[in-house]
Amino acid sequence: MHYIVFLLFLIMSAGCATASTDRHIQSDTLNVEVVQSVSNSPIPPNWVLGREHLSYAHAQYLVGVGFSNKNTVSASESARAELAKNIRFKIASIMKDYNSNDGSFVETFIKTETDALLEGVQIKDGWFDSQKKVFYSFAVVKRKDVLATIQDQIDTVMANSQLTMTQADSFYDDNEILKSLVYYYDGYNESSKLLPLLRTYKSVNLFPEVPAVSANIPSAIDFKRKVQSIVGNIEVEKIDDLESFVVKITYDGQALRNLPIKFHGNSYNFVSRVSSDDKGICKVKTHNVTVEDDFEIVKAEVDLFTLSRRFNHKLKKDLFGRLDTLDVTFKKFKEYKFQFALDKKEFEVGEEAVFFVQSDVSGYLTIHSQRTVNDTPSKVFPNIHLKDNYIQKNKIYNIGGAGYPFHFKITGPPSQEVVTAVLYKDEDLTKVLSQKTYEYSVVMPFVVKKQTNGCSLKSRRKGGGSCD
């Protein structure tokens, strides 16, 4: 088989003898993929021995030498691969010094740039070692063509970076914060290519000159600062609500919309993904959560998985890692039949109130009273008069009233007040079983102002009455 192939190479060489005196390809004009002629001289040419090719000086060409014991096609593929390897090594050496910890970005950049630079590769020479039965191929690409390609890439990066910054700033000014973040991060990744490209240009050029970069072109640092500023000013705040788990998302103190939030139980038996509305609010109904034990911990955190799908590049931890720390937790307690109320909804100042309590689970009861949301709650029960706060399941308790060790007396001034009853599982009051609130009104008492024709006229401090 090798003999037949060798005869074919001899015929091809003879056919080209008039065009080449040294049996090596001299033409720069043919863009061919395989060797046009193969020298069968027993003496290996300089380029096989690792020396400079007589027709393709290193000052003007990047070269690659390949070999194969199969055929010229395999040898040509090997030469192209070797040339690619050399170029890839140059770029990789440059990227090693580049300040980036994103391995995927580096690998993608190297592959993309190498593929682009290899578009002009040509196979320009070949040699067959008749003793070892090995085929050699010589691949070249003009430095000026490579430099032109790199220059085009540099121009594209600069134009894209400038346009992206303009678009991102416009979204930011329109309060489209998350959309601007996407564009700023796109700009960061695009502009990060500029310095490696400039260094690659310099290494290929063999001269110190590099393309000029305008001072108006935003750098990777400019985009990075924009990203860090937005990420660093996002906050997640817990909002108390009896029927829902609620968080508020803000950016720089203002409501941030469209940020995805993930609510999940501690055992991930519950997961809900929602995005903040125009007021920055995310909420999930508490009834969607099943409580297996006494209570379930529900965490609300930035949904990085959903958020990352809006971006065109993998999110770098050093830029977006803070979002992973923004979370709040809620507790949902197992719901028991726990009834709590006062004997009236409206009390006059000075009246006594009676609490009614019943539960289908035994526990330890506490009662707190609070006049306004800004006031500190005051403990009503247990107290110094009655310290035993254990209640049995399914038993009705009246706390206060005639014959009770203490009395709950309503004090003024008139207001809307609330009492909160909490049933705990343990005496240390650490595990909540249930919680109920009861709102009531405090008014001034009726007073007798005067007697008229046997008719008593009563009024409150505010308002009046009539007598027929």
Q: What is the tens place of the pLDDT at every residue in 340-363? A: 999 889 988 888 889 999 988 899
Share of the chain above pLDDT 90, in %: 34
In the numeric block, which tokens belong to residue 40?
A: 């069968």
- CATH class of the domain comprising 233-333: mainly beta
The confidence score (pLDDT) of residue 328 equals: 92
Cβ count near 101 (within 10 Å): 9
pLDDT tens string 300-315: 999 999 999 999 989 9
The confidence score (pLDDT) of residue 296 equals: 75
Q: Do domains 233-333 and 338-443 have the same CATH topology?
A: yes
N- to C-terminal Cα separation, the chain = 131
Residue type, 308: S
Q: Which residues pair with 330 in a beta bridge?
A: 298
Instruction: Give the range with max mean pLDDT: 417-426, 430-439, 453-462.
Output: 417-426
In this model, does residue 126 exceed pLDDT 60? yes
- pLDDT band with cut points at 50, 70 and 90 for residue 468: very low
The confidence score (pLDDT) of residue 230 equals: 97
The confidence score (pLDDT) of residue 446 equals: 66
The confidence score (pLDDT) of residue 4 equals: 37
The confidence score (pLDDT) of residue 97 equals: 56
Mean pLDDT of the chain: 80
Rounded to two decimals, the pTM is: 0.62
In this model, does residue 297 exceed pLDDT 60? yes
Decide which of 290 and 407 is more confident: 407
| Residue 235 host element (H or E) | strand 234-239
Domain assignments of the chain as residue spans, ordered by start: 1-206, 233-333, 338-443
- What is the Cα–Cα distance from 348 to 413, expressed in whole angstroms? 10
- pLDDT band with cut points at 50, 70 and 90 for residue 197: confident
Task: Tell me the average pLDDT across 401-430.
Answer: 85
- Dihedrals φ, ψ of 112, to 5°? -60, -45
- What is the Cα–Cα distance from 114 to 26, expressed in whole angstroms? 26
The confidence score (pLDDT) of residue 212 equals: 78
The confidence score (pLDDT) of residue 315 equals: 93
Task: Tell me the average pLDDT across 273-278.
Answer: 95
In this model, does residue 102 exceed pLDDT 60? no
- pLDDT band with cut points at 50, 70 and 90 for residue 28: very low
The confidence score (pLDDT) of residue 95 equals: 65
- What is the Cα–Cα distance from 46 to 17, expressed in whole angstroms? 20
Nearest to 249 by CA among 241, 240, 259: 259
The confidence score (pLDDT) of residue 253 equals: 92
Q: Where on the phi/psi map is residue 455: left (φ > 0), alpha (ψ -120 to 50), or beta?
A: beta
CATH code that applies to domain 338-443: 2.60.40.2550
The confidence score (pLDDT) of residue 400 equals: 85
